[in-house]
Amino acid sequence: MSNETTVIGSRAGIDELEEFRTAALGHIEWIFDFFKTVREHPVTSRISPGELISTLPESAPESGEPLDCIFEDFKRQVFPSLTLWNHPRFFAYFAISSTPPSILAELLSAAMNVNAMLWKSSPGATELEQVTLAWLRQWLDLDDGFFGIIYDTASVGVMQAINAAREWTDPECRTRGMRTGLTVYVSEQTHSSSEKAAITLGFGQENVRRIAVDGDFRMRPELLRAAIKADIAAGKKPCCIVASVGSTSTSAVEPVREIADVAEEYGVWLHVDAAYGGCAAVLQEMRHIFDGVERAHSIIINPHKWLYVGFDCSVLYTRLPEIFRRASSLSGEYLKTDVDGQVVNYMDYGVQLGRRFRALKLWYVFRYYGREGVSAMLRESLRLAQLLKGLIESSDEFELVAPVPLSLVCFRHRGGDEFNRRLLAEVNASGKAFLSHTVVHDRFVLRFAIGNFQTSENDVLETWRLIRSAAERIASQGEFRNSSQ
Ligand SMILES: Cc1ncc(COP(=O)(O)O)c(C=O)c1O
């Protein structure tokens, strides 16, 4: 039998695939143990800046090294340098999950190394993307006029959406370049990726209007209308509005139906950033957060935020895929195929040519949990957020600072900004939980985001105890003794 498994580049005498098999089993065992013992690990990395760099060689090795030696160094050097986003007490930013089915799909995707740029470049990757995005669309009750595309992140997706809005508003841009006067509308609470996209696309920051929000941090449609009117009167051309369903800072759900009225009245593209919040719309009882979303020209939902799919995977739906194609497609001769026109070539819907096979992990996760399993996990996060909200409301020392429509709880100690800064630092330094912060109405606020698939009621209660005891300790220290009210 010929030795077809020997690969050029392998170390002398080593059968690379046999070594891979042994090492892979060891890696999987280690991942299993990691999940079993995850709470014993600190959530946040303890290293100081530059520490990992200083322990690693300055140059790559001349000769190859055994996989088990590399793996040992991962465990000894790299693993402790990581902040564990897949930890059940990771409550910072938006808590996310890479679940077992998602991890297995990533492994297969890495092994196949498929490029989903064209249908022809690997037909199943494109078709699985079409199938899984149709499944998700049904779960969200969006009609089948919505065409789905997977991007890596919502930041890239919103750039493509604003690019499509530009094409729709002023088709000459594609050939003649950006004309001045196109404007974009976000709220004061919209994620910075929308403004960044506008900057990148050449709109100019001075053509981005940041509409003020109401007491619940939601864009005020009457101010949006006034801004658009004023821009038209000044000779500007309103191009795109971005409304949020689940804003980053406080998870505010903006009044999309009223915003859609304004968009339609003035013929402006409406993009809905539902990167985090949209995931909850899988639940029938949460469908109200999608009120009016069906009128958007484009919508983004990140399965990598709250649909149990590992990072990265962001889905964009649009009613106008042709506009995306017009805005982005430009194909070299070598990319032409004999089935163009009959199939979807996803490279035509964005700047990216090469595309990872992300649909596989959606397929694994959706099949493994089913709608019931996904819904049960979403409901549990929502329930735990309400539980925490209740605890904060019944406490004398803490106060809620925003409504809790989803699974993010924003609160603060009554001791003032410096107190809360110290509190956050102490909690995070403990390694037992990880929270993040925001600034709301000029006040420093703690964010407690719930969404990891392993987070239990006990994780939330223990962390709440941790926060309270850290607060008591700080309050007992001299400088804060009289400032806790
Ligand atoms: C509401 C919202 N939109 C967009 C983004 C950007 O997401 P991504 O990291 O996928 O670019 C975030 C990130 O947290 C977000 O919270």
Ligand 1 center–CA 144 separation, angstroms: 25
The rounded Å distance from CA 70 to ligand 1 centre is 33
| pLDDT at position 424 over 90 | yes
CB proximity list for 385: less than 8 A, separation 6 or greater: 404, 406, 407, 408, 409, 450
Q: Which amino acid is at 403?
A: P
- Residue carrying the six token digits 């010929």: 2
Mean pLDDT of the 260-288 span:
98
Q: Which two tokens stand for residue 292?
A: 């009016």
Asked whether 242 and 158 are in contact (CB, 8 A), the reply is yes
Nearest CA to ligand 1 atom 13: 248
Q: 88-114, pLDDT tens digit by residue?
A: 999 999 999 999 999 999 999 999 999
Instruction: State mean pLDDT over 149-166.
Output: 97
Tell me the mean pLDDT in the region 159-168: 97
- Ligand 1 centre distance from Cα of residue 226 (Å): 27
Cis peptide before 312 (omega within 30 of 0): yes
* Cα–ligand 1 centroid distance for 157 (angstroms): 10
The pLDDT confidence band at residue 484, using thresholds 50, 70 and 90, is very low
Whole-number Å distance, alpha carbon 401 to ligand 1 midpoint, is: 21
Distance in Å, CA 191 to ligand 1 centroid = 7
Question: Poorest-confidence range of 10-14, 197-201, 317-321, 363-367?
Answer: 10-14
Contact between 245 and 278 (Cβ < 8 Å): yes
Note the pLDDT of residue 178. Answer: 83
Residue with the smallest CA separation from ligand 1 atom 15 is: 248
**Sorting pLDDT into bands at 50, 70 and 90, what band is 220?**
very high
Q: Is 373 exposed, middle or buried (0-12, 13-18, 19+ CB in 10 A)?
A: middle
- 72: how many CB neighbours lie within 10 A of its CB? 11
Instruction: State whether the beta carbon of 273 lies less than 6 angstroms from ligand 1.
Output: yes
Q: Which one has a higher pLDDT value, 7 or 200?
A: 200
pLDDT value for 269: 98
* 482 has a pLDDT exceeding 60: no
The bridge status of strand 398-400 relative to strand 314-318 is unpaired
Q: Which atom of ligand 1 is nearest to the CA of 302?
A: 10
In 3D space, the residue among 413, 409, 412 whose CA is nearest the CA of residue 384 turns out to be 409
Average pLDDT in the 221-242 region?
Answer: 97
Cα 129 to Cα 133: distance, rounded to the nearest angstrom: 6
Q: Is 259 in the pocket of ligand 1 (CB under 6 A)?
A: no
Is there an atom of ligand 1 within 6 Å of 194 CB? no
Closest CA to 231 of 180, 182, 164, 267: 182
Do residues 278 and 246 lie in contact, with contact meaning Cβ atoms separated by under 8 Å?
yes
Residues in the chain: 485
Q: Which atom of ligand 1 is nearest to the CA of 248?
A: 16
Atom of ligand 1 nearest to the CA of 156: 11
Nearest CA to ligand 1 atom 14: 248
pLDDT over 60 (residue 3): no
Ligand 1, atom 5, lies closest to the CA of 154
The answer to whether 156 and 181 are in contact (CB under 8 A) is no
| Residue whose token pair is 């964010």 | 447
Residue to mutate, 85, 159, 191, 273, ligand 1, most ligand atoms under 8 Å from C-beta = 191
Residue 174 CB burial class (10 angstroms; 0-12, 13-18, ≥19): middle
For residue 85, name the pLDDT band (cuts at 50, 70, 90).
very high
Among 233, 305, 286, 278, CA closest to 450: 305
**Ligand 1: centre distance to CA 314 (Å):** 9
Which residue in this structure is represented by tokens 């995977």? 313
pLDDT value of residue 328: 87
Report the pLDDT value the prediction gives residue 485, as an integer from 0 to 100. 41
- pLDDT for 173 equals 87
* 187 touches ligand 1 (CB under 6 Å): no
* 258 touches 224 (CB < 8 A): no
Considering just the CA atoms, what is the radius of gyration of the chain in Å? 25
> In this structure, are residues 161 and 313 in contact, taking their beta carbons and an 8 Å threshold?
no
Looking at residue 481, its pLDDT comes to: 57
Contacting residues for 218 by C-beta, under 8 A, at least 6 apart: 187, 189, 252, 253, 254, 255
Q: What structural domains and CATH numbers belong to the chain?
A: 16-44+83-98+369-485 (3.90.1150.10), 114-357 (3.40.640.10)
Establish whether residue 154 lines the binding site of ligand 1, counting it when its CB lies within 6 angstroms of any ligand atom: yes
Cα of 67 from ligand 1 centre, angstroms? 35
113 backbone φψ class: left, alpha, beta (φ>0; ψ -120 to 50)? left
Q: Ligand 1 centroid to 199 CA: how many Å? A: 17
Q: What is the position in ligand 1's atom list of the atom closest to the CA of 314?
A: 10
Average pLDDT over residues 56-76: 95
